[in-house]
């Protein structure tokens, strides 16, 4: 995976009103700024600092992160699946990189 590659996983079958678990991962070094290369060069801080979660038109969550979150950050959280709509996550890093991924929340036929 290259920096910014992201995946969001939700259940295959969702019924309206389900409380679903959302698992997300984004590829990122999450450098703290405290490490050096083997050659002794400092590695500057470089990390995801902001994650915005949008469901349909509504911002449902926002996460503020520091370089204390592990490399290739994962996060899992729940969502009340009330409507068929895209679930979008946007990760922004400390150098202004913006990475976006979406999945479609759709209800299984009864």
List 21's β-bridge partners, or say none. 78
Minimum Å gap between C-beta 72 and other proteins is 9
Please identify which residue in the block is written with the tokens 């290369």.
37
Nearer to other proteins, 3 or 20 (CB): 20
Closest CA to 53 of 21, 80, 91, 20: 91
Burial class (CB in 10 A: 0-12, 13-18, 19+), 22: buried
Minimum Å gap between C-beta 42 and other proteins is 10
Nearer to other proteins, 74 or 106 (CB): 74
Nearer to other proteins, 87 or 99 (CB): 87
**Given the rule CB under 8 A, which residues bind other proteins?**
19, 21, 30, 32, 34-35, 55, 58-71, 73-80, 82
Minimum Å gap between C-beta 92 and other proteins is 14
Could you tell me the CA-to-CA distances from 109 to 12, 18, 88 in Å, in that order?
Answer: 12, 14, 23
Instruction: Name the 3-class secondary structure at 102.
Output: strand
Nearer to other proteins, 13 or 80 (CB): 80
Minimum Å gap between C-beta 36 and other proteins is 8
């Amino acid at each position: 995976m290259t920096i910014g590659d992201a995946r969001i996983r939700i259940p295959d079958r969702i019924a309206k009103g389900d409380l679903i678990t959302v698992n997300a991962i984004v590829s990122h070094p999450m450098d703290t700024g405290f490490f050096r290369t083997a050659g002794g060069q400092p590695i500057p801080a470089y990390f995801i600092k902001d994650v915005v979660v949008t469901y349909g038109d509504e911002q449902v969550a926002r996460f503020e992160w520091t370089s204390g979150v592990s490399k290739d950050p994962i996060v899992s959280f729940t969502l009340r699946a009330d409507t068929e709509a895209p679930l979008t996550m946007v990760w922004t890093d400390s150098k202004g990189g913006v990475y976006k991924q979406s999945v479609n929340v759709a209800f299984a036929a009864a």
